């Protein structure tokens, strides 16, 4: 605000004003429903999730294995070349302990969320998911994790076919 | 070929959690103040740019068209621009195209946001910016992406939460002197550290609030600006770049898209050593660590070195390079698009020596304002000179 300006416009509605119904409110609920096509690349990815596998796409020019897969390489700006299965294990790139849900309300118990860099994909190729079977205080960046899958009959071809990632138990 | 562009007036409304005014009314108030400051009326304006962030906040589709009468755009070449949180600084960038190109001699740039209509909380709108197939089913909130990025930034450079909290202390403190501020307060690092954890490591006082508000500037060609004022502020550099929405495939410790936008703006403005040549910075600070992240992207601090600026006093209002002397989003408030424009307004007032109690101590001639947005992917930058 310039010191040349001595008053500034606007009327605040305070929480007290709301409680006292000082101003009119017009309330409408908008409930659109969408049905998305998953696309060429992600449809295959989802079908592989149903089989309990992760898959990426390889670009032969930059030699990256892209996860999530795309039919084009956004860097080389050319079609990608082949499907490549990758492991369902990975490394925690970063993590957070979320105390709030989608609408900013407090969650009953905190949720561990992470970016997991997938093994056998190119370095830095992470996906967003949750972590479990681990105390929040034990999670570290660089920690090895593995996918915990839903039983085959419950899988629907969705990212939630992986229930969560847990600390890697293999060798 | 390119013409020099000046800012010749600025205006803004109060920033508050909930305002009685509609988006149109807020746009009008900010635009009218900017016009009055420039000594112009709407008749003198040749083109209008409106910036506003997601339509989902208001539940009003075609928001640009809805806002047009409040923004003064009726019957004129008018455009609404939108690059998420980067919109507020992108709005004068788009205005600059209008004037620098030679198409128009005057352009009114207005940015508004009404976040309050959405219930139960404006945060809900951010759910729908995530990938609908691979990310939303996990129950995403925008706070996740910030806490994940903050953690990665801290890990990469060994930065402590207490060091980051210094930014919240500085900005909320600066905002005490801003007459439009929503959350100006004198707080301590301890207050930040003890505030409620939201999405660890992010705590309540690390975050800016949702807000309603508007801000505006008037741009003019050199010829017109020199006729109207002996204190033009030159918009000498603009830059913007975007990365993909594949944010989980990106280095979260460093905003490369901000670096690219900054380098574009610096090159245009002939700035070779940003840290030496820039007197005031208004980087986007929706979270305290974001100011640090962006200072590094803006080449105003080495990678991982930005926390030192607040701690050593460099970025304080009386320091060698004041950062967010306005009080930033953390203190003044965060009506998304209007918040970025507020930063441009602050640079304008600071460079004219009109910032009153907020006036920086040093003799300032060059300022940079920057905004950021969407899925860790947008950088928008303006360089201004007195």
Mean predicted confidence (pLDDT) in A7-22: 93
**By percentage, how much of chain B surpasses pLDDT 90?**
94
Count of residues in chain B: 386
Read off the pLDDT of residues B26-37 as tens digits, 9 standing for 90 and up: 999 999 999 999
Instruction: Looking at the structure, tell me whether residues B172 and B316 fall in a common domain.
Output: yes
Report which of B355, B312, B352 is spatially closest to residue B332, judged by C-alpha positions.
B355
Q: What is the pLDDT of residue A31?
A: 84
Distance CA B272, CA A113 (A): 41
Mean predicted confidence (pLDDT) in B245-263: 97
Mean pLDDT of all residues in chain B? 96
Residue A170 has pLDDT above 80, yes or no: no
Which chain B residue is nearest to residue A7, measuring alpha carbons? B179
Tell me, yes or no, if B187 comes closer than 8 A to chain A by beta carbon: no
Among B219, B236, B253, the domain boundary falls at B236
Distance CA B231, CA A54 (A): 61
Please tell me whether residue A7 adopts helix, strand or coil conformation. Answer: coil
Residue A167 has pLDDT above 80, yes or no: yes
Angle, alpha carbons A128-B210-B174 (nearest 5°): 110
Mean predicted confidence (pLDDT) in B43-50: 98
Read off the pLDDT of residues B147-204 as tens digits, 9 standing for 90 and up: 999 999 999 999 999 999 999 999 999 999 999 999 999 999 999 999 999 999 999 9
Q: B118: cis peptide before it, omega within 30°?
A: no
Tell me, yes or no, if B59 comes closer than 8 A to chain A by beta carbon: yes
Q: What is the pLDDT of residue B125?
A: 82
- Supply B197's token pair: 């954890």
**Chain A hits for B179, Cβ within 8 Å:** 1, 8
Which chain A residue is nearest to residue B30, measuring alpha carbons? A9
Instruction: Fill in the DSSP letter of residue A77.
Output: T
Angle, alpha carbons B269-B12-B176 (nearest 5°): 95
Check CB contact under 8 Å for A36 and B132. yes
Which chain B residue is nearest to residue A115, measuring alpha carbons? B248
> Which of B 280-309 lie inside 8 A of A, CB atoms?
none
- Supply B266's token pair: 């610096």
A153 and A136 in contact (C-beta within 8 Å)? no
Residue B22 has pLDDT above 90, yes or no: yes
Neighbouring C-beta atoms of residue B105, cutoff 10 Å: 19
Asked if residue A92 belongs to a domain, the reply is: yes
Instruction: Looking at the structure, tell me whether residues B326 and B182 fall in a common domain.
Output: yes
Report which of B81, B3, B32 is spatially closest to residue B340, judged by C-alpha positions.
B81
Mean predicted confidence (pLDDT) in B139-147: 93
Residue B245 has pLDDT above 90, yes or no: yes
Report which of B263, B210, B229 is spatially closest to residue B106, judged by C-alpha positions.
B229
Asked if residue B127 belongs to a domain, the reply is: no
Asked if residue B320 belongs to a domain, the reply is: yes
Which residues face A126 on adjacent strands?
A117
Number of domains in chain A: 1
Tell me, yes or no, if B125 comes closer than 8 A to chain A by beta carbon: no
* Residue reference for tokens 């071809």: A157
Asked if residue B175 belongs to a domain, the reply is: yes
Instruction: Looking at the structure, tell me whether residues B340 and B356 fall in a common domain.
Output: yes
* Residue B62 region by backbone torsions, left for phi larger than 0, else alpha for psi between -120 and 50, else beta: left
Tell me, yes or no, if B204 comes closer than 8 A to chain A by beta carbon: no
Read off the pLDDT of residues B328-379 as tens digits, 9 standing for 90 and up: 999 999 999 999 999 999 999 999 999 999 999 999 999 999 999 999 999 9
Q: How confident is the model at residue A104 (pLDDT cuts 50, 70, 90)?
A: confident
Which chain B residue is nearest to residue A6, measuring alpha carbons? B179
**Chain A hits for B135, Cβ within 8 Å:** 128, 159
Among B221, B236, B251, the domain boundary falls at B236
Instruction: Looking at the structure, tell me whether residues B195 and B271 fall in a common domain.
Output: yes
Q: How confident is the model at residue A103 (pLDDT cuts 50, 70, 90)?
A: confident
Asked if residue A143 belongs to a domain, the reply is: yes
Which chain A residue is nearest to residue B244, measuring alpha carbons? A74
Distance CA B81, CA B112 (A): 11
Number of domains in chain B: 2
Q: How confident is the model at residue A106 (pLDDT cuts 50, 70, 90)?
A: confident
Please tell me whether residue A49 adopts helix, strand or coil conformation. Answer: helix
B87 and B53 in contact (C-beta within 8 Å)? yes
**Chain A hits for B213, Cβ within 8 Å:** 10
Check CB contact under 8 Å for B14 and A12. yes
Shortest Cα distance, chain A CAs vs residue B137, angstroms: 7
Residue A1 has pLDDT above 60, yes or no: no
Shortest Cα distance, chain A CAs vs residue B92, angstroms: 18
- Supply A169's token pair: 């138990």
The 3-state secondary structure of chain B, one letter per residue:
CCCCEEEEEEEECCCECCECCCHHHHHHHHHHHHHHHHCCCHHHCCEEEEECCCHHHHCCCCHHHHHHHHHCCCCCCEEEECECECHHHHHHHHHHHHHHCCCCCEEEEEEEEECCCCCCCCHHHHHCCCCCCCCHHHCCCHHHHHHHHHHHHHHHHCCCHHHHHHHHHHHHHHHCCCCCCCCCCCCCHHHHHHCCEEEECEEHHHECCECEEEEEEEEEEHHHHHHHCCCCEEEEEEEEEECCCCHHHCCCCCCHHHHHHHHHHHHHHCCCCHHHHCCEEECCCCEHHHHHHHHHHCCCCCCCCCHHHHHCCCCCCCCCCCECCCCHHHHCCECHHHHHHHHHHHHHHHHCCCCHHHCCCCCCCEEEEEEEECCCCEEEEEEEEC
**Could you tell me the CATH number of the domain that includes residue B293?**
3.40.47.10
Burial B306-339 (b: 16+ CB within 10 A, else e): bbbbbeeebbbbebebbbbbbbbbbbbbbbbbbb
Residue A161 has pLDDT above 80, yes or no: yes
Residue B244 sits in which domain range? 132-209+239-385
Asked if residue B126 belongs to a domain, the reply is: no
How many beta-carbon pairs below 8 A join chains A and B? 177
**Chain B hits for A100, Cβ within 8 Å:** 123, 141, 143, 198-199
Tell me, yes or no, if B158 comes closer than 8 A to chain A by beta carbon: no
Instruction: Looking at the structure, tell me whether residues B259 and B225 fall in a common domain.
Output: no
- Supply B280's token pair: 């005031």
Q: What is the pLDDT of residue A119?
A: 98
Asked if residue B150 belongs to a domain, the reply is: yes
* Residue reference for tokens 């060609």: B221
Q: Which of B16, B37, B123 sits opposite A10 (nearest CB)?
A: B16
Instruction: Looking at the structure, tell me whether residues B248 and B116 fall in a common domain.
Output: no
Asked if residue B190 belongs to a domain, the reply is: yes
Residue A30 has pLDDT above 90, yes or no: no
Question: Which of the residue ranges B116-125, B237-246, B277-286, B340-349 would you say has the lowest mean pLDDT?
Answer: B116-125
Q: Which of B120, B137, B178 sits opposite A1 (nearest CB)?
A: B178
Instruction: Looking at the structure, tell me whether residues B37 and B144 fall in a common domain.
Output: no
Residue A130 sits in which domain range? 40-167
Instruction: Looking at the structure, tell me whether residues B115 and B201 fall in a common domain.
Output: no
Q: What are the CB-based long-range contacts (under 8 Å, 24+) for A21-26?
A: A23/B20
Instruction: Looking at the structure, tell me whether residues B104 and B216 fall in a common domain.
Output: yes
Distance CA B118, CA A147 (A): 36
Check CB contact under 8 Å for B148 and A46. no
Angle, alpha carbons B357-B277-B367 (nearest 5°): 40
**By percentage, how much of chain B surpasses pLDDT 70?**
100
Asked if residue A19 belongs to a domain, the reply is: no
Q: What is the pLDDT of residue A117?
A: 98
Instruction: Looking at the structure, tell me whether residues B152 and B62 fall in a common domain.
Output: no
Q: Which of B13, B147, B244 sits opposite A74 (nearest CB)?
A: B244
Instruction: Looking at the structure, tell me whether residues B287 and B361 fall in a common domain.
Output: yes
- Supply B27's token pair: 């746009």
Instruction: Looking at the structure, tell me whether residues B218 and B154 fall in a common domain.
Output: no
> Which of B 336-355 lie inside 8 A of A, CB atoms?
349, 352, 354-355
Rg, chain A, Cα only: 23
Query: E strand or H helix at A47, and its extent?
Result: helix A40-50
Q: What is the pLDDT of residue B303?
A: 98
């Amino acid at each position: 605000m310039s010191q040349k300006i001595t008053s500034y416009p606007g009327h605040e509605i305070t929480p007290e004003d709301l409680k006292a119904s000082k101003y009119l409110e017009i309330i409408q609920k908008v409930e659109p429903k969408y049905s998305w096509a998953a696309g060429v690349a992600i449809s295959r990815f989802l079908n592989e999730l149903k089989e309990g596998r992760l898959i990426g796409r390889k670009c032969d020019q930059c030699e990256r294995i892209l996860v999530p897969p795309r039919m084009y390489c956004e860097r080389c700006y050319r079609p990608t070349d082949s499907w490549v299965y990758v492991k369902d294990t990975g490394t925690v790139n970063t993590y957070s302990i979320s105390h709030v849900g989608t609408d900013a309300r407090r969650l009953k118990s905190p949720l561990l969320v992470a970016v997991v860099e997938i093994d056998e994909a190119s370095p830095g190729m992470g996906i967003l998911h949750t972590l479990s079977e681990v105390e929040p205080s034990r999670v570290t960046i660089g920690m090895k994790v593995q996918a915990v899958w839903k039983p085959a009959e419950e899988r629907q071809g969705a990212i939630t076919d992986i229930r969560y990632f847990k600390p890697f138990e293999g060798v | 070929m390119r013409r020099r562009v000046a800012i010749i007036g600025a205006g803004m409304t109060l920033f508050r959690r909930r305002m009685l005014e509609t988006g149109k009314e807020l746009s009008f108030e900010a635009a009218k103040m900017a016009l009055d400051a420039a000594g112009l009326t709407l008749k003198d304006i040749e083109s209008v740019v409106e910036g506003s962030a997601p339509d989902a906040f208001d539940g009003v589709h075609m928001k640009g068209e809805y806002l047009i009468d409040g923004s003064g755009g009726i019957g004129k070449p008018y455009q609404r621009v939108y690059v998420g949180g980067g919109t507020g600084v992108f709005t004068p960038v788009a205005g600059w195209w209008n004037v620098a190109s030679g198409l128009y001699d005057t352009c009114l740039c207005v940015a508004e946001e009404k976040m309050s209509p959405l219930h139960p909380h404006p945060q809900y709108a951010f759910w729908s910016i995530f990938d609908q197939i691979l990310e939303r089913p996990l129950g995403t909130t925008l706070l996740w992406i910030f806490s994940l990025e903050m953690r990665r930034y801290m890990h990469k450079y060994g930065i402590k939460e207490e060091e980051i909290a210094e930014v919240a202390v500085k900005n909320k403190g600066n905002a005490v002197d801003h007459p439009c501020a929503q959350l100006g307060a004198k707080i301590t690092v301890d207050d930040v550290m003890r505030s409620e954890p939201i999405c660890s490591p992010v705590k309540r006082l690390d975050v800016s609030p949702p807000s309603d508000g508007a801000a505006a500037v008037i741009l003019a060609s050199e010829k017109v600006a020199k006729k109207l004022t002996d204190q033009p502020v030159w918009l000498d550099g603009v830059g913007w770049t975007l990365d993909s929405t594949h944010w989980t495939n990106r280095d979260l410790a460093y905003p490369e898209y901000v670096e690219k936008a900054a380098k574009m703006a610096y090159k245009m403005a002939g700035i070779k050593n940003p840290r030496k040549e820039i007197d005031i910075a208004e980087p986007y600070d929706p979270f305290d660590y974001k100011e640090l992240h962006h200072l590094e992207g803006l080449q105003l601090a080495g990678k991982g070195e930005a926390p030192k600026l607040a701690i050593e006093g460099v970025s304080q209002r009386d320091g060698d390079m004041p950062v967010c002397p306005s009080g930033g989003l953390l203190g003044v408030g965060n009506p998304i698009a209007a918040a970025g424009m507020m930063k441009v307004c602050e640079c304008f007032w600071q460079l004219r020596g009109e910032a009153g109690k907020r006036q920086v101590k040093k003799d300032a001639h060059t300022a940079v304002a920057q905004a950021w947005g969407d899925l860790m992917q947008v950088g928008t930058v303006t360089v201004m000179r007195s």
